Structure 1
Amino acid sequence: MWSWVAHRVTGVLIFFFLFVHVLDTALVRVSPEAYDTVVATYKTPIVALLEYGLVAAILFHALNGLRVIAVDFWVKGARYQKQMLWTVVALWLVLMIGAIYPVLGHAARELFGS
Structure 2
Amino acid sequence: MAHRVTGVLIFFFLFVHVLDTALVRVSPEAYDNVVATYKTPIVALLEYGLVAAILFHALNGLRVIAVDFWIKGARYQKQMLWTVVALWVVLMLGAIYPVLGHAARELFGS
TM-score tier, shorter chain, comes to: over 0.9
Partner of 2:29: 33
Distance in structure 2 (CA, Å) of the matches to 1:84 and 1:44: 37
Cα RMSD of the aligned pairs, angstroms, is 0.3
In structure 2, what is the equivalent of residue 22 of structure 1? 18
Secondary structure of 1:76's match?
Answer: coil
TM-score (norm 2): 1.00
1:62-110: CA deviation from partner (whole Å, max 9, x where unpaired) = 0000000000000000000000000000000000000000000000000
Q: Which one of the candidate residues 6, 12, 15 is aligned to 2:8? A: 12
Residue 59 (1) aligns with residue 50 (2): no
Alpha-carbon distance in structure 2 between the residues aligned to 1:9 and 1:41: 26
- Would you say 1:93 and 2:89 are equivalent positions? yes
Structure 1 residues 39-70: Cα deviation after superposition (integer angstroms, max 9, x where no partner)? 00000000000000000000000000000000
Q: TM-score, normalised by structure 1?
A: 0.96
Q: Which stretches of structure 1, 4 residues or longer, exceed 3 Å deviation after superposition? A: none
Could you tell me how far apart the structure 2 residues matched to 1:107 and 1:35 are? 21
Q: Distance in 1 between matches of 2:100 and 2:35?
A: 17
SS at match of 1:104: helix
Q: Calculate percent identity across the aligned residue pairs.
A: 95
How many residues in Structure 1 have an aligned counterpart in Structure 2? 110
Residues 16-52 of structure 1: CA deviation (Å, up to 9, x unaligned): 0000000000000000000000000000000000000
Determine the C-alpha separation between the residues in 1 that align with 2:65 and 2:50.
22
Once the two structures are TM-superposed, the CA of residue 7 in structure 1 deviates from its matched residue by: 0.3
| Alignment gaps of 5+ in structure 1 | none
